Amino acid sequence: MYTIATVFDPRFKLNYYEDNKWKQSFIRYAKETVLNAYNNNYAPVTNVEVNDNNDEDNEFLDHIFGKKQNLQQNEVELYLKTPRADRNQDVLLWWMLNEVEYPHLAIMARDYLAITATSVPVERIFSGGTDLITAKRSNLKTNTIRACMCLKSWWA
């Protein structure tokens, strides 16, 4: 997940790995990871009809009319070809401004960039539970504990 999130930071892309002299095999792996996640979960679905019975007819028609060009290039490839964003650029704002150009990729970027980089907030909340549940308060209902912990995190 962190690999994909790094690539979706328009200030870094794959250049982060290249600039820090990572092995080419990992850079290829990072790109393949992003492409696989995109193709499996976010790429637009195209309806293609395949008719194996008329191969000769298809070849003839392809020759006369020219093969259909894939007008929709892969959004990942297009994104990776664009220059990196300024280092002071707000990452989520960049994706919002470029959502028209990369509609499916923007959805994927929001999903991956929303992941917290550390577990500190979760650990802080978990540790706060020991302050709430003491020997004198060991019979609180689950909903009450949940509500108290949520209120504490919202007001902190």
The whole-model pTM stands at 0.59
Mean pLDDT of 56-69: 59
DSSP 70-90: --S--HHHHHHHSPPPPTTS-
Q: Which domain holds residue 37?
A: 2-113
For residues 109 and 129, membership in a common domain is answered with: no
pLDDT at 36: 93
For residues 128 and 107, membership in a common domain is answered with: no
pLDDT (tens digit per residue) in 69-124 = 443 468 999 999 999 999 999 999 999 999 999 999 999 999 998 876 666 666 77
> Count of domains in the chain?
2
Q: Which of 9-13, 21-25, 123-127 has the lowest mean pLDDT?
A: 123-127
pLDDT at 63: 62
For residues 138 and 106, membership in a common domain is answered with: no
pLDDT at 138: 81
For residues 53 and 125, membership in a common domain is answered with: no
pLDDT at 49: 52
> Which of 54-58, 69-73, 146-150 has maximum average pLDDT?
146-150
pLDDT at 71: 37
For residue 82, what are its two tokens?
């664009």
For residues 93 and 128, membership in a common domain is answered with: no
Is the CB of residue 11 less than 8 Å from the CB of residue 84? yes
Percentage of the chain with pLDDT > 90?
A: 41
pLDDT at 19: 84
